[in-house]
Amino acid sequence: MPESQGGQDVSISAENLGFTRRQERTPPLRNTVLADGSRIAVIGAGPAGSMFSYFLLSMAETLGLDVDVDLFEPRRFCHRGPAGCNHCGGIVSELLVQRLATEGIILPHDVVQRGIESYMLHMDVGDVEIATPLHEKRIAAMYRGNGPRESEPLDTQSFDGYLLELAQEKGANVVRRLVTDVRRDNDLMTVACADQHSERYDLVVVATGVNSHLLENLEGEFESFHRPARTKTFICEFRLGHELVRETFGPSMHVFLLDIPRLEFAAMVPKGEFVTVCLLGDRIDDDLINRFFSSPEVRNRFPGGVIPQQACHCYPRINVRAARPAYGDRLVVIGDSGSTRLFKDGIGSAYRTAKAAAKTAVFHGVDAASFKQHYAPLCRKIGNDNQVGKVVFGFAGLIQKTRFARRGILRMTSNEQAQTSRPRRMSGVLWDLFSGSASYTNVFVRTLHPAYIGSLVWNLVAGNVPGSAARHGRASGEEESHVRR
C-alpha cells in the first residue's frame, strides 16, 4: 500500500523535488554542501534524532568539518511517566545492540531492564517456549523514558536519555525548546519555537516521531509533503514487583496469538518491577483491550487470574505508511516520522534512516537531489519489506483465527524446541517475526522453503487428529515438555 500507491497520490514533479513550499517554485539553491560553520537543526531527540546527530558529527569530524548541530528537545527523559516517555514496547534486538556497538554506541548495563532469553507463545490450544536461537539473537528490554508513573528511582538509565548524552558528548547542542514550525526562508530554513524564538539553518532534520503535531504543521507548510498514515495502539504498565515479575514472567517475552479481530500482535515484556503490555493492530479500542484482558491466556499471567490496576497507559500512534516524500531541499525526515518497519524494530529503523541521512548530508549534499539519490532508496527498501510484512501478518492473522492452524503451529514449534539437532524452522520464523531480528522478506522467504511447508502440513494434520497422542506432539509424553497448557 505505501510505496506502490505513492506515485499515484503525489505528482511526479513533487516527488522529484521532494518537499516544496506551497505556491512557490524553488529557486536554485546555493551552498547545498555542508561546510565549516554550517548549521543543522535536528528536531526531536528520540533515538533517530540523537543517532543522526551522533553520526553526522562523527562523520564531519573525520572530514575535519566543523558544523553546528542544534538538537531540539523540550522534554526530559529523566521524568517518570508519560512526560519523559517516548512510548514503545522498548525492545531492541541483539542484532541491533551489536550493530550499535560497532558504531561505538555500547548500551550500558543500567539501560537494559532485562535481557530477554526466550519467547513464550500463548494460544488457547497451549503455550510453547521458544528459546533464543543459536544463543545470539537475544533481545533487550528497556525504557525509553525513565520508567512508568510511580516507579521507584532505580539504578537504571533511560535509553533515549543515554543516546542523547552520546550526541551531546559528540558536540550536539541540546536546545530545550519545542519546535512548532519549519519554514523555507529564501535559501535557508527557519525553525520557529513555541516561545517565539526562531533561527535559520542550512539543514533541518525532522525526527519527531508520529506522535507529534509538527508533522501536521509541515503538511500545511509544504504542499507536496504527506505525513505518515497512523494507527492507534495500546501500551500499559503493571507494577507487580521484582519478585513476582521474575517468578511469573521469567526472562521471557510473552506473545499472545488470540482470536481477536483487528489484533495483530500482543505481547507482555518484563522490565524490572514492571510488565509492559503492548497491543498492536488496526484501530485498537477499549472493546479490543477488554477482550484481550478477558481472555484466559492473559488473565492466567496474573496472580489469581485478576488483572491489577495499571500504573500507566497510553494509546501511541504508529506509522503504518511512510511519509512521502521524506526529504526536500535542506530537509529530511527520519525515524518514525519518515519510514519505519511495520510493527517492529522501530529503533532499528531509526538507526538505519539516521545513518543514511547523516551520510547523505555529510558526503553528498543537503539538497533534494542528494537525498533522493542516497536516502530515498533506503526508505523504499523499508517500504517494500513492509509490503511483505503485511502478507506475513496476514498469515499470522489466519493462524490466530483458525484453531486447527494454532494446533499445527503449537505442535511444530514444541517439537522443534524439544529436539536440538533438527533445524528449527518454525521457531526461527516466529522468533524473527516477533523480535524484528530479520526483515519480513527474509522471514517470508524462509516460509517458502519446501521443508518448512512440508513440516507445517504434517503438523497441521497430526495436530488435529482428535484424541491422538500425536496431537500434542512429544509434549503428551511424560518427559520434559515445552508445551504448557
Between residue 195 and residue 224, which ones bind other proteins under the rule CB under 8 A?
195-196, 211-214
Out of 316, 383, 428, 463, point to the residue binding other proteins (CB under 8 A): 316
Out of 6, 99, 185, 315, point to the residue binding other proteins (CB under 8 A): 315
- Piece of the chain touching other proteins by CB under 8 A; list 56-64, 103-111, 135-143, 304-312: 304-312
In the bound state with other proteins, the residue whose beta carbon lies nearer, of 17 and 182, is: 182
Angle at 436 between CA 327 and CA 75, to 5 degrees: 55
- What percent of the chain is helix, strand and coil (3-state, nearest 5)? 40, 25, 35
Distance CA 404, CA 252 (A): 26
135 is a site residue for other proteins (CB under 8 A)? no
- Piece of the chain touching other proteins by CB under 8 A; list 151-159, 163-171, 307-315, 396-404: 307-315
Beta partners for 121?
Answer: 128, 255
- Piece of the chain touching other proteins by CB under 8 A; list 73-81, 158-166, 266-274, 433-441: 73-81
36 is a site residue for other proteins (CB under 8 A)? no
CA torsion sign for 22, 25, 30, 35 is: positive
In the bound state with other proteins, the residue whose beta carbon lies nearer, of 313 and 446, is: 313
Out of 317, 359, 390, 471, point to the residue binding other proteins (CB under 8 A): 317
Out of 289, 361, 368, 430, point to the residue binding other proteins (CB under 8 A): 289
348 is a site residue for other proteins (CB under 8 A)? no
Binding mask 136-155 for other proteins (x = CB under 8 A): -------------x------
Side chain identity at residue 421, one-letter code: S
Which of 249, 238, 8, 45 has its CA nearest to residue 145? 45
Cell of 231: 494507527
380 is a site residue for other proteins (CB under 8 A)? no
Q: Count the neighbouring beta carbons within 10 Å of the beta carbon of residue 299.
A: 13
Out of 178, 229, 258, 470, point to the residue binding other proteins (CB under 8 A): 178
Distance CA 420, CA 425 (A): 12
Out of 21, 76, 183, 381, point to the residue binding other proteins (CB under 8 A): 76
DSSP 310: P
Residues making up the chain, counted from first to last: 485
- Piece of the chain touching other proteins by CB under 8 A; list 63-71, 170-178, 360-368, 470-478: 170-178
283 is a site residue for other proteins (CB under 8 A)? no
User: In the sheet that 188-193 helps form, which strands lie side by side, from edge to edge?
Assistant: 179-185, 188-193, 198-201
| Run of H or E including 42 | strand 39-43
Distance CA 469, CA 476 (A): 6
DSSP 421: S
Site residue total, other proteins (CB under 8 A): 43
| Cβ 75 to other proteins shortest distance, Å | 7
Strand ranges, E, within 66-138: 68-72, 91-93, 112-116, 118-123, 126-131
| Cβ 196 to other proteins shortest distance, Å | 5
81 is a site residue for other proteins (CB under 8 A)? yes
- Piece of the chain touching other proteins by CB under 8 A; list 8-16, 65-73, 305-313, 406-414: 305-313
Q: What does the binding site for other proteins look like in residue numbers (CB under 8 A)? A: 74-76, 79, 81-83, 85, 87, 149, 176-178, 180, 194-196, 211-214, 232, 236, 286, 289-290, 293-294, 296, 299-300, 305, 307, 309-317, 485
